[in-house]
Structure 1
């Protein structure tokens, strides 16, 4: 990636342009650079979430005005000084939240909320297992699961350092490494967990099926392990009455942005009410975006990384 000069965008009907203060760095941005993932043509600008001030308002937009502080979810292009976004996924900056904190909200919070409640259908007293517990979505999901009435919240991470970080954010116990199926059986007395969130895919997803309780649900929301597409069938599902489903916030933003806006509004309330915290663990200048990606690719990061644009 390299920094370059382009023209300032103008808002199309139904859009606003935002002078970006901060842009969030997500694992999906790293995946977007993979051949065949999401980039159909170059040049390509990554970035799914921003905070900043509205620069201009397009035709047909109401409720937003130039100069207003907002956060926004977009399908790409956030690593820029000014970006055009659909008005339906641009939200007034929640009261009491800084632009810096605001940039952590648009992707991970609606994702975590949808995984637990819209897709996972979490019920009070159920147990939850979350892979990648020390990442942005994992930290949000641990807290939201606790707020949603989960009886026990377990996490899986790749190192002891990450486990210590995740334990600060709603988790009862955090397991390290590939031995998590045995850890789950021990922690649950052999019953397994009711709901499992998996961003890894591949062999991890298949092994996770064996940690589900009777009528357990697994929600897949990524393929961080870069494995071949997973397949499950009658043998894996019927015996334990298990189910597997999936979620993509990017797809939802393209197919039903108003549904995403509704989910985001409910999720943002947990932060403004002081019940969920999203820690920023590193900050980079826009010109250092490649360095931020390199750091994420080491798989040693926790929490949220940001680009400071203005």
Structure 2
């Protein structure tokens, strides 16, 4: 089968097409004939830094859509030929992907394979950040970093549907215009030249600060998100895209504003509590099926051009969701 892999970490140029044996599902697993594979920032971190790479060579990719090819022993709720979306532990940049049955989801009525490839990571992540972890309530204010990205696009819509005032942070004016189409009441461009997003968030909330902040960046952005919180505000960390040292906060940081800091990782939850992830995913997928949430595919590449997809995402100019087209 066709795959795209890397044999050493580095820039997009280390991604190379390669042939590989078709995997066979073990107990509790399924294989999927891949129609589309999603491209995520975690794939770029795997390629550049070895993030969650157990050994080389490695086939990256965390999510696919397609049809079940085969099921392993003990799998009873899924069947060959069924259309699904799946979260994988790598290996999605391939014609056939292997996944644990617990993270393979039958598609709701009306969702095709192209849309399905946008679902496994982004939509459950945004839902968990806002509802399961952030516990957003109607009338609150929410601040989202990366408002024009995949998670940001969905988070804006979900927060608005929950009755919140939604504020976003992006790196450029074009991204701000894009994000405003997806639930945001105001979007701040934070390019290092102005007063900064924490100041703007306080201005937009009449000096109060925001009730909930979502941060995938870490480092200084994490600290400034804390500064943007209202009394009793919550900050949810869901990544470290900036590559800074892991954050650490203590009582002196949290006592003055009675703040709460939480964290979420969909990949970790998939390993530690797959049934909890399944419950979140099913709730989130229903909101796509009923039209509450849309996640636009803004660029699509053939599998062999995965390096170009990585260049686009790594250049910080992309919006929405990027996909690799693999099968029919």
TM exceeding 0.5 = yes
2:292 is aligned, of 263, 275, 278, to 275
Q: Cα offset for 1:62? A: 1.2
The Cα of 1:35 is off from its aligned counterpart by 3.1
Residue 135 of structure 1 corresponds to: 149
**Aligned-pair CA distance for 1:182:** 1.4
Contact 2:30 2:69 in 1 (8 A): yes
Deviation at 1:36, TM superposition (A): 4.9
State the distance in 2 between where 1:162 and 1:75 align.
Answer: 30
- 1:118 CA displacement: 1.0
Give the 5 Å matches for 1:88-237: 88-150=102-164, 152-177=165-190, 178=192, 179-237=196-254
Match of 2:72 in 1: 58
Give aligned pairs, total: 309
Unaligned runs of 5+ in 2: 1-14
Residue 230 of structure 1 and its aligned partner are, at CA, apart by 2.1
Segments of structure 1 that go 5 or more residues without pairing to the other structure are none
Instruction: Report the TM-score when normalising by structure 2.
Output: 0.92
- In structure 2, what is the Cα distance between the partners aligned to 1:301 and 1:273? 26
- Post-superposition Cα deviations, 1:144-193, rounded to whole Å, max 9, x if no partner, equal 1111221x100000000000000000000000014111111110010000
* Residue 119 of structure 1: how far off its partner (Å): 0.9
Q: Does 1:12 align with 2:26?
A: yes
Measured in 1, the distance between the counterparts of 2:80 and 2:18 equals 26
Q: CA deviation at 1:89?
A: 1.0
Q: Please say if residues 35 and 66 of structure 2, whose CA atoms lie closer than 8 Å, have aligned partners that are also in contact.
A: yes
What residue in structure 1 maps to residue 10 of structure 2? none
Change (3 A) 1:2 1:36: closer
Please give the alpha-carbon distance, in whole angstroms, between the structure 1 residues aligned to 2:295 and 2:50.
Answer: 31
TM-score computed with the length of structure 1 as normaliser: 0.98
Alignment root-mean-square deviation, CA: 1.0
Which position in structure 1 is the counterpart of 2:4?
none
Contact 2:36 2:324 in 1 (8 A): yes
Distance in 1 (CA, whole Å) between partners of 2:163 and 2:203 is: 22
- C-alpha deviations, 1:204-260, integer Å up to 9, x for none? 110111110000000000111111222222232110001111110000000111111
CA distance in 2, matches of 1:21, 1:36: 26
What is the aligned counterpart of 2:51 among 37, 44, 55? 37
